[in-house]
Amino acid sequence: MGAKTGLLIYADGEVPGLLRQVKAADLLRTSEMMRRLYPGWEIEQLAGSALGSGVYPPKDTAYAASWPGVEVICDQRVMIDFPSQLPEHLVAASAGRRLVLHAMHSVVDWLAFAVWEDGRLVRSLSLSPDSGIIENIGEPLPFELPYWAGDRPADVVPWPDEDEEPYPLPFHPLELGEDALRALCGFIQEGRPEPDDVDADNIGLHGFHVREPNRPDPAEQEAELRAAMEAMGPPRFYTLGPDGSLFERDGI
């Protein structure tokens, strides 16, 4: 599995049904949404992406679209260990609507998802094999039940001749992550598509470069780092003498 997501969706109802109805997203409407959700941030339009491939944008990039009834934002910044700590203004924007957060990272087998209804958190789960269950709030949703019941055990087998312990979770987070993505958002990243899945590859998102206010410019930071390294001078090498003292030596 190699899926990564950082996804927020605001919706006036069930997300999958609403996404099946969307057409091309209006740029002006989407830009207004971005300014509302990133107040005071520097926002610059970039090339867009499709929902299917844009759920994990590059750093400082957001892919987004706003339609009547449903709004989508893809941004690495929403990949937080504790979904319940999503910034308050992002939760407040869901008043009268459903808000879905979905985040996962295949490198560390981490999954987090959450659902708010009219600004009230009803379910949050975050877990990984290294950290265990990080957050578990609310009752499990229907698509989770087979996993908690032990019907979907993690199919992770240690390499032969290696003294490895069994997988530390009763199921694989990324497998649950795909089922969560399908149930909550209507599509998947990996696995076999189903006939009624949302065609996420045909849903276009606008692209934006998004930078926090007063954040140093990356080019300036790089120049400062380069200047600091040049000011350090050439490296110095030491070796340990017979009496335990350090002696400077030439070269490596």
Q: Write out the chain's pLDDT in tens, 252 residues.
A: 579 999 999 999 999 999 999 999 999 999 999 999 999 999 999 999 999 999 999 999 999 999 999 999 999 999 999 999 999 999 999 999 999 999 999 999 999 999 999 999 999 999 999 999 999 999 999 999 999 999 999 876 554 555 567 889 999 999 999 999 999 999 999 999 999 999 999 999 999 999 988 766 666 667 767 777 677 666 666 666 676 666 667 655
Contact 122, 135 (CB under 8 A): no
Residue type, 204: G
Return d(Cα 21, Cα 69) in angstroms, integer.
10
Domain-embedded: residue 159: yes
Q: Is residue 199 domain-resident?
A: yes
Q: Strand runs (DSSP E) across 51-96, as ranges?
A: 61-67, 70-74
Q: How many angstroms separate the CA atoms of 240 and 252, rounded?
A: 14
Does a structural domain hold residue 82? yes
**Is 24 a member of any domain?**
yes
Q: Which residue, among 209, 207, 208, 210, has the nearest Cα to 49 in the 3D structure?
A: 207
Q: Is residue 247 part of a domain?
A: no
User: Domain range for residue 25?
Assistant: 4-218
243 located within any domain = no
Which pLDDT belongs to residue 218? 61
The count of domains in the chain is: 1
Give the model's pLDDT for residue 79.
Answer: 98
Q: What is the pLDDT of residue 231?
A: 74
What is the layout of strands, in order, in the sheet containing 120-128?
42-50, 204-211, 61-67, 70-74, 4-11, 98-105, 110-117, 120-128, 132-137
Instruction: Assess if residue 239 is contained within a domain.
Output: no
Per the structure block, which two tokens stand in for 111?
Answer: 């999954």
